[in-house]
Amino acid sequence: MSKHLFTACLGTETHTWAPLPTDIPAFEATYLVRDGEHPEAVNMFGVPLQIWKRRAEAKGWRVSEGLCAFATPSGLTNKATHEALRDEILDKLGAAMPVDGVMLSLHGAMVAHGYDDCEEDLVLGIRSIVGPNVPITCELDLHCHLSRAFVENVTAFVIYKEYPHIDFADRAEEVWALMEGVLENRINPQISIHDCRMIGLYHTTREPMQGFVQRMRDLEGTGTVLSVSLGHGFPWANIPHVGTRTVVITDDNRKAGDELAKQLGNELWELRDEITPPFIELDDAIDRALKVDSGPVVFADIADNPGGGGAGDSTFIAHALLARGVENCAVGGIWDPAAVAICQSAGIGATLDLRLGGKAGPWSGPPLDMKATVRAVYDNLMIQGLGNSKRRLGDTVMITANGIEYVVHTNRSQNVHPSTFTEAGIDFMAKKVLVVKSMQHFYSNYAAISDHVYYVSTPGVVDHEITRLPLERAARPAWPMDDDPWSTDANRAW
């Protein structure tokens, strides 16, 4: 029998003390699509909607697509912005009723002024329209928070397994399979959650997290297990339910799911000291780079990752490279709309006095005052994102000064692919050091071109040291602030 589905996407990853707020223009600058009219270059959060539409239409089912809105991770979302985007989705759903199912592409860590959990707020609104029996299924980024009310009001959800998030299309297929199974009365998903009482950052590109991801995969399809996920959580959110959780979805077997979720949580707890990424100090990274004969060496400027709320204009690494006299480097990139406008006006070939970066706040470091030469100017530059997705750098210039080439752009964007350099006219393989502003999404594409990739510790808004973060509202006890979070049950969100 033909079915009618409603799909939508609303998301950002909110760093609750980052300097730049998130408003409607921030969504417009990243990805804001109405009525399913996606451009050729689709944002990764829009890809699931396209997959679900294709799957539905292949079965002769009808899809009504609502808003698809995603903003580059930043500070707290403006209250009116969240409410306007939420209401646009709810209004469209109301007009599309009756529907047989709702499918959502969400991030899971969107926080607004007045809303600790925007996904919970959206799902409660959807539930109030569709009633208790219409299934709601979601795809979530693994940096999600998972509030209790959110989990209790959705039918099933699948979280990315990989960080970098190279598997978003595969997980979308699994969300589809769950919705299809529910609508065809083949499965009755039951969600089990275990709170790991941990707040942390876990890369899945090395052991032992690689093995943990494989273990989750191996469990899927055994017995009544439909899906296994790990919600890593997003540590830079001062909300009560920040933290890491294991998720097991069974076919009508909550007891087995609860036991497995707890078992997996215990296994992760045992790995806690080994799964923290290998960060190194900036001076050590430069020492190591100077010993490498053939480049490029990759420095990840993790603390200014625009994909985690950093402004993308910090200068600590560039200053250190200049101070140490390291030449033939490329910094990709620096977010600085004012500098771009000045260089556009000066034109290709011009040499001018320029103040670059270091503008968003104290965490951006001192600006770089330089005599810059404008090498290239681009209108609305597009670069490669994760998988087949695209990213928008906006108007962009490539400048050189003191042996360093800089990609300077108007749209905040994480560097996840060397096309950030090539599209700006930089031969990245000929460079000694490449500086990329990213926590981990850069890793797969840069490890493919360099044997020397360093996660460099600098001051910054995306500080990797969890015990230094101002998480006054986080449920406690929680590791690593508390060595043994299992000693008491006090004040836990779950």
Q: Cis link prior to 296 (omega < 30° from 0)?
A: yes
> Which CB sits closer to Zn ion, 204 or 253?
204
Of 429, 451, 455, nearest to 440 (Cα)? Answer: 455
> Which CB sits closer to Zn ion, 100 or 141?
141
> Which CB sits closer to Zn ion, 143 or 452?
143
- Name the segment binding Zn ion (CB under 5 A); options: 133-141, 187-195, 334-342, 416-424: 133-141
Indicate whether 119 belongs to the interface with Zn ion (CB under 5 A). no
- Name the segment binding Zn ion (CB under 5 A); options: 137-145, 240-248, 423-431, 478-486: 137-145
Nearest approach in angstroms of CB 231 to Zn ion is: 11
Nearest approach in angstroms of CB 106 to Zn ion is: 12
Of 332, 141, 99, nearest to 232 (Cα)? Answer: 141
Nearest approach in angstroms of CB 191 to Zn ion is: 21
- E-only strand ranges, 107-234: 136-140, 156-159, 189-195, 225-231
- Name the segment binding Zn ion (CB under 5 A); options: 78-86, 143-151, 291-299, 394-402: 143-151
R_g (Cα) of the chain, nearest Å: 23
Contact set for Zn ion, span 59-88 (CB under 5 A):
none
Indicate whether 464 belongs to the interface with Zn ion (CB under 5 A). no
- Name the segment binding Zn ion (CB under 5 A); options: 136-144, 171-179, 269-277, 354-362: 136-144
Indicate whether 143 belongs to the interface with Zn ion (CB under 5 A). yes
Q: Which two tokens stand for residue 335?
A: 């977010």
Nearest approach in angstroms of CB 458 to Zn ion is: 21
Contact set for Zn ion, span 12-51 (CB under 5 A):
none
What is the residue whose two structure tokens read 């490539």? 398
> Which CB sits closer to Zn ion, 169 or 429?
169
Contact set for Zn ion, span 278-297 (CB under 5 A):
none
> Which CB sits closer to Zn ion, 70 or 316?
70
> Which CB sits closer to Zn ion, 101 or 460?
460
What is the residue whose two structure tokens read 């083949």? 186
Of 241, 212, 11, 233, nearest to 110 (Cα)? Answer: 11
70: which strand partners?
11, 31
**Contact in structure between 70 and 107 (CB atoms under 8 Å):** yes
Measure the CA–CA gap between 296 and 140, rounded to whole angstroms.
34
> Which CB sits closer to Zn ion, 146 or 408?
146
Q: Are strands 433-436 and 297-301 parallel, antiparallel or unpaired?
A: parallel
The conformation of residue 53, written as its DSSP 8-state character, comes to H
**Contact in structure between 337 and 410 (CB atoms under 8 Å):** yes
Angle subtended at Cα 272 by Cα 157 and Cα 12, rounded to the nearest 5 degrees: 40
**One of 141, 162, 180, 395 touching Zn ion (CB under 5 A):** 141
Contact set for Zn ion, span 148-207 (CB under 5 A):
none
Interface ranges with Zn ion (CB under 5 A): 141, 143
